[in-house]
Amino acid sequence: MKRLWNSFRVRPWWRKLFDIVLVLFALAGFAIIGAWAFFQLGFTKNKGSIDKNYRYMMSVSEMQSLADSTLTTEQINRLRMQSMSHLAVFARMYPANAEHILNSITPDSDPALVDRMIKAAMMYRTDNKEYETTASKVDALIAGISVKDTLQIIPWMNTIEWNALKEAIVKDSALLIEAGRLTGVEPRMIVSCLVGEQIRLFNSKREMFKKYLGPVKVLSVQSQFSYGVNGIKDFTAQAVERHLKDPNSEYYMGRRYEHLLDFTTNDHVNERYRRLVDYRNHLYSYIYTGCILHQTMLQWKRAGYDISDRPDILFTLFNVGFSQSQPKPDPRCGGSHISVDGHVYTFGAIGFDFYYSGELADVFPYERHRFISGDGEGLTQSDIEKIQSNTSNCSRPERGLEYRTDSSKAAATTPAVPAEDDESATYINSVGY
């Protein structure tokens, strides 16, 4: 070694540098070859093992899926409700896990998914007896309760009128959702007002319903005294339009909504009538409805009473009008009396029934916010023109005909469409003829 060192010392500097580089490359080569050999010989491999819970995991995976089963919808829903009772038991023991499961399921989820998730979560428990025993007791308790009635608990929802009305409302779902977006109101709130008004009309004119509306599943459009599918009076519509434009009004909805109901002509009276009494396109009826709900809510909120969480009161106020909307600490649900199949309801109660019933929730879901503030930017001219294009050229009864005497009415004009009488003409128009 000493001889090598002495030989290295006497060499020229460039030879020393060459030798150093050569040694470094050699060392690097040995390191690479050694690492490769270490890897090839398997010293880096983790051989692993079979998980001790593999049988448990297999049992979870093998739980029968009901997603593609031949069970009826009623049977699947019954199993889904049973699984939710199991989740309630599980939540008492492991609330954090139960919350994750609850947030992950949807109406379209496999009914067996909840039980599968619960079982998977319980894998690290050596004893699941407490959960299993309690869940079995709950199942037995529920099974011991006899089925009282297969009908809906809300009487008016068991009528043929409601079954027909549901289909008519779904046909208008796109317009109702758009009206909700434009007015900043949860569409389900607008639908609730529509339900109250249409149930009233369907039952006050049962013969006309059976003859025209029932078979074709369409909404009734009013053209006398109150207008459109939601029965909005002319003076109420005028008030809505004024409130939109007046920043000092207690009903003012904000800059975002100011031009929502701008007119295209100077003849506001007839243009308003054409908007509301439209047998083919009901968007304006829904926009006015949304505005009334939004404006009334703001009136009460500015007076110190937030009724945004009281849909029953908002539906009542929609029915009775601005003149009777007087903010106070103890509002009560009510409104017009509506007789349906031998039962008498108030307008506010029918809207309340529908809102919380879950009916049509797949089309009109419950939203986190019922109202959206109008503090943002206003509508563009393109937006306004798009709204204004939602008026069809359908035939309408002559405006104001209802205020004339019988003699002048008979001599005035011929009906807008051929029909047996003025009333049936309105219904035929509502179908779109």
pLDDT over 90 at 430, yes or no:
no
pLDDT over 60 at 416, yes or no:
no
**C-alpha 335: how far from its chain's center?**
26
Q: For position 224, what pLDDT does the model report?
A: 85
Per-position DSSP letters for 167-194, written without gaps between them: HHHHHTHHHHHHHHHHHTB-HHHHHHHH
Average pLDDT over residues 207-217: 59
**Percentage of the chain with pLDDT > 70?**
78
For residue 389, the tally of other CB atoms under 10 A from its CB is 11
**Among 143-152, 269-278, 290-299, 384-393, which is the least confidently predicted range?**
143-152
Instruction: Give 52's contacts (C-beta < 8 A, 6+ positions apart).
Output: none
Q: How far is CA 400 from CA 95, 321, 412, in A?
A: 63, 21, 11
pLDDT over 90 at 27, yes or no:
no
- State the Cα–Cα distance between residues 325 and 299, nearest whole angstrom: 9
Q: For position 108, what pLDDT does the model report?
A: 75
pLDDT over 50 at 403, yes or no:
yes
Q: For position 433, what pLDDT does the model report?
A: 30
Who has greater pLDDT, 207 or 292? 292
Residue 419 binned pLDDT confidence (cut-offs 50, 70, 90)? very low
pLDDT over 50 at 422, yes or no:
no
Per-position DSSP letters for 289-313, written without gaps between them: HHHHHHHHHHHHHHTT---TT-HHH
Phi, psi of 415 (to 5 degrees): -60, 155
Q: For position 214, what pLDDT does the model report?
A: 55
Q: How far is CA 1 from CA 8, 14, 24, 347, 425, in A?
A: 11, 21, 18, 108, 119
**Structure token digits, residue 193:** 């007002």
Q: Which residues pair with 371 in a beta bridge?
A: 185
**Structure token digits, residue 322:** 């601005």
Who has greater pLDDT, 219 or 11? 219
Average pLDDT over residues 289-297: 98
Q: What letter does residue 228 receive in the DSSP assignment? A: E
- State the Cα–Cα distance between residues 111 and 130, nearest whole angstrom: 23
**Structure token digits, residue 22:** 């050569």
**Among 155-164, 267-276, 297-306, which is the least confidently predicted range?**
155-164
Residue 427 binned pLDDT confidence (cut-offs 50, 70, 90)? very low
Who has greater pLDDT, 60 or 179? 179
- Is 111:66 a contact under the CB 8 Å cutoff? yes
Who has greater pLDDT, 430 or 15? 15
pLDDT over 90 at 432, yes or no:
no
Residue 406 binned pLDDT confidence (cut-offs 50, 70, 90)? low
Q: How far is CA 176 from CA 151, 181, 233, 242, 282, in A?
A: 28, 9, 20, 23, 9
Three-class SS state of 224: strand
**C-alpha 143: how far from its chain's center?**
32
Average pLDDT over residues 28-50: 67
Strand order in the sheet with 226-228: 222-224, 226-228, 232-233
Q: For position 12, what pLDDT does the model report?
A: 77
**Structure token digits, residue 90:** 């599980």
**Structure token digits, residue 325:** 């909307």
At 247-291, the pLDDT tens digits run 999 999 999 999 999 999 999 999 999 999 999 999 999 999 999
Q: For position 64, what pLDDT does the model report?
A: 66
Who has greater pLDDT, 188 or 64? 188
- State the Cα–Cα distance between residues 157 and 416, nearest whole angstrom: 34
pLDDT over 60 at 345, yes or no:
yes
Q: What letter does residue 324 receive in the DSSP assignment? A: G
- State the Cα–Cα distance between residues 392 and 161, nearest whole angstrom: 27
Give kind and range of the element (H or E) at residue 340. Answer: strand 337-340
Give kind and range of the element (H or E) at residue 346. Answer: strand 343-346
At 216-258, the pLDDT tens digits run 678 888 888 899 999 999 999 999 999 999 999 999 999 999 9
**Structure token digits, residue 262:** 């701008």
Average model confidence (pLDDT) across the chain: 83
Nearest-CA neighbor of 319 among 337, 331, 303, 304? 337
Q: For position 294, what pLDDT does the model report?
A: 98
SS (H, E, C) 256-283: HHCCCCCCCCCCHHHHHHHHHCCCCCCH
Q: For position 188, what pLDDT does the model report?
A: 98
- State the Cα–Cα distance between residues 344 and 333, nearest whole angstrom: 14
pLDDT over 70 at 44, yes or no:
no
Instruction: Give 257's contacts (C-beta < 8 A, 6+ positions apart).
Output: 182, 183, 184, 244, 291, 294, 374, 378, 379
SS3 content of the chain, % helix, strand, coil (to 5): 60, 5, 35
Average pLDDT over residues 198-212: 69
Q: Which residues pair with 340 in a beta bridge?
A: 343
- State the Cα–Cα distance between residues 185 and 77, nearest whole angstrom: 31
Top-ranked range on mean pLDDT: pick from 34-43, 82-91, 122-131: 82-91
**Among 33-37, 193-197, 299-303, which is the least confidently predicted range?**
33-37
Please state whether 216 falls in left (phi above 0), alpha (psi between -120 and 50) or beta.
alpha
Q: Which residues pair with 185 in a beta bridge?
A: 371
Top-ranked range on mean pLDDT: pick from 126-140, 229-243, 328-342, 386-400: 229-243
Q: State pTM to two decimals.
A: 0.76
